[in-house]
Chains A and B, each alone.
Chain A
Amino acid sequence: MFDMDPVLMSRLLTTMTLLFHIIFATLGVGVPLFISIAEFIGIRKKDPHYLMMARRWARGFVITVAIGVVTGTAIGLQLSLLWPNFMQVAGNVISLPLFMEVFAFFFEAIFLGIYLYTWDRFKNQMIHWAFSLPVVIGGGMSAVFITTVNAFMNTPEGFTTGQDGFVTINPIQAMLNPATPTKVFHVLASSYVTVAAILATIAAFSLLKKKSSEYHKKALKLTMMATFIFAILTAIAGDMSAKFLAKEQPEKLAAAEWHFQTEEGADLILFGWLNEQDMPVGAIRLPGLLSFLAHGDFSSEVTGLEEIPEDERPPLWIHYMFDLMVSIGMALVLIPLLYLILMKTKKWNEHHKWMLRLIVLGGPLAMLSIEFGWIYAEEGRQPWILRGL
């Protein structure tokens, strides 16, 4: 154990901190939006249930923020402490978005403090509600800025290199690299869907335990509808990401899909395993679908792993990460859809035991999906840290 090499140790440590941090980062981005929505509905409808919802979520949120702040601080320090060489090189380029991220976070922190401690201080409740907006925006913007860093690591742009490192740098162009738009969209949408699903889990869990309560039913309805909307948006964003990968990072898509030969009308392979000849066995094959996923056309050509030099291929196990992420994403569309159908149909009861149990599963699954997606995004970039450098 102790004679592991420091690079591996550093990677493990960073991975663990990140895996942990990402949970709280996701909550930090998403929860304020729902607090804000609940308070807004509560004020407009003069419904104390929604106001209580906002308060309770806000209280729980404080704890996650505290942990998020600490793990975030740790990540910041770790980047410098464990990867000094990387920071020395990349610091020239990615410092701008990191700097902006801290600003966004600063902004969020100030208004979160105000929001949490001024519940009954204003006659006009809307003033208090307005303080939630900077928190929502700040949280969203931190996610945007930090995602540009990750996007840059995938498709580095905006600089020229010479003998000893960078010669010219255009930090704005580096931030707005090709991977940025799809990644930002995907990250934001999936954060919101995950938080909606988790809040729904809490509501459904309470309903299962304490039978029926008006408060939890309202919470469930609100979060289920949000899950549905954001799950669809996430799926659209995911689709855009796949098309982007096909164009800019074919090896990442190919490894995720176990797509070895470049061919037209490529099949989509779901799960399964690889035999000795690296042929997928026991998988579900969906004819032509990979082509459609990659280029929006069932007969288009998709680049296979064979075209990528062997030492630049990402590890193949990310296939599972990718498939799990997508499956859970699909489930997150279907669960609320089922709930909404049950709700709209008069004869059926949307608070049936099994429906609620399904919803309870949704939250943890969504969080797992975030972790799978993140592992896929990071491992899919291997062996590079900065792709192509």
Chain B
Amino acid sequence: MTYEIIGITVLWLFLYGYVIVASIDFGAGFFSYYAKKTKKDHIINQLISRYLSPVWEVTNVFFVFFFVGIVGFFPDTAFYYGTALLVPGSIAIILLAIRGSFYAFESYGSKQSNVYMFLYGATGLLIPASLSTALTLSEGGFITETNGEITMNYLKLFTSPYSWSVVFLAIVSVLYISATFLTFYASRANDTEALKLVRKYALFWGTPTIIAALTTFIALGQHNQRHYDRMLDLWWVFGLSMGFFMISLGLIYIGKYYGLAFISVMLQFFFAFFGYGASHLPYILDPYITIYENATHQSTGIALIIVFIAGLFLLVPSLILLMKLFLFNADYVKGKK
């Protein structure tokens, strides 16, 4: 394996980590707003805030990690995406700021304002929508370079069926991941009321996830033939993803083994995500950036990988400790501590 491949794999892994933990967070924001609207907030909001309060900061760092890493490994991405993403990127920053301030003031325990709850719920859907645009752009056709000048074709972006199917997929995935996690968490907390509610959410959002995935797949076929063909070559990876989706939905339907169900959801997205990533290679931005031609210098790349491995030795035990204290500590989850 070359250092470029190791680099992109590491980054992709972090992006996957972000997709999972951030989806839980974003979806929970939406669900708590929805529960408030349907007068069911007393059932689940306690549960949601117990999980989210200690970990939201960690969520954000996954994201920072990814984009610092990708600019580090592949400096040209900054040039192309930086220019093109100025507007959607700035919107995402503002949305993240709103969300961050919600957590900051919520932790002070002051009275909950309706406006804030609405913003919290809305950003939960808008942030994934705006961030997913980056993946759409990476397929090429929206960003063009002429004589070193980068231009982005907004009209094409907003009228492309592919772009909208990605946004749709991002939103329903967020809701599905989040609902299945909350189902698991509620069952650990032995909170039957909450469990009934979030299980219903999970069952509801399961089918749209697969429909959205298939729609996106077809839309991609019309947009980028090369990528589509490569994905068909990797059909078994997506088959596995589909299989794990069936397992997760089945387990939630029969109402048993919610932990296993959530792991299946994680695997479902793991295979889909890596299948998508692997077939995307060697391009980071079709057709301008490839992982081979636009990687950083070898010495920097290797130094980054060494730091990364050293960092993992520090981070993995800390993350395990965090999960042990808040996620797998039955007393904490039940609200006794």
Contacts and interface: CB of A to CB of B under 8 A. Distances in A.
Interface in B63-83: 63-65, 67-69, 71-73, 75-83
B72 A98 contact: yes
Given A99-B308, A114-B325, A117-B53, A88 B68 contact: no
Nearest to A100: B307
Interface string B248-266: 0000000000000000000
A169 B72 CA distance: 13
A117 B337 CA distance: 9
B321 A114 contact: yes
Nearest to A13: B90
Given A67-B104, A117-B54, A117-B326, A170 B64 contact: no
A323 B79 CA distance: 38
B135 interface: no
Contacts, number: 177
B104 A92 contact: no
A121 B53 CA distance: 16
A95 B71 contact: yes
Chief secondary structure at chain B's binding surface: helix
A283 to B, nearest CB: 43
B1 interface: no
Contacts of A208: none
B84 to A, nearest CB: 9
Given A96-B303, A113-B55, A114-B322, A80 B104 contact: no
Contact of B307 (A59, A79, A103, A109): A103
Contacts of A92: 75, 296-297, 300
Given A95-B296, A99-B308, A84 B303 contact: no
Interface in B31-56: 53-55
A113 B332 CA distance: 14
B335 interface: no
Interface in B2-16: none
A93 B76 CA distance: 13
Interface in A27-46: none
Contact of B71 (A91, A105, A109, A134): A91
A169 B299 contact: yes
Contacts of B97: 70, 74
Contacts of A205: none
What size tier do the contact residues of chain B reach? 35 or more
Interface in A169-208: 169-172
B318 A84 contact: no
A166 B300 CA distance: 11
A102 B68 contact: yes
Nearest to B75: A91
A72 interface: yes
A99 B53 contact: no
A164 B135 CA distance: 30
Interface string A54-69: 0000010011011101
Contacts of B92: 77
A212 interface: no
Contacts of A171: 299-300, 303
A73 B90 contact: no
A262 interface: no
A110 B79 contact: no
Given A96-B303, A114-B321, A70 B64 contact: no
A73 B71 CA distance: 14
B85 interface: yes
A102 B58 CA distance: 11
B313 to A, nearest CB: 11
B233 interface: no
Contacts of A112: 57
Contacts of B332: 121
A89 B75 contact: yes
A98 B300 contact: no
Nearest to B57: A109
Interface of B: 53-55, 57-58, 60-61, 63-65, 67-69, 71-73, 75-83, 85-86, 89-90, 92-93, 96-97, 100-101, 103-105, 107-108, 296-297, 299-300, 303-304, 307-308, 311, 314-315, 318-319, 321-322, 325-326, 332, 337
Given A89-B75, A93-B300, A95-B72, 14 more contacts: A69-B100, A70-B100, A73-B93, A74-B97, A77-B92, A79-B71, A84-B82, A85-B79, A96-B300, A106-B58, A110-B322, A113-B322, A118-B325, A170-B299
10 contacts: A62-B104, A63-B108, A77-B93, A79-B71, A85-B79, A96-B307, A98-B72, A113-B322, A121-B332, A134-B318
Interface of A: 59, 62-63, 65-67, 69-70, 72-74, 76-85, 87-89, 91-93, 95-96, 98-103, 105-107, 109-114, 116-118, 120-121, 134, 166, 168-172
Give 10 nearest A-B pairs by CB, closest first: A95-B72, A66-B104, A91-B75, A84-B82, A87-B78, A113-B54, A70-B100, A103-B311, A80-B82, A80-B78
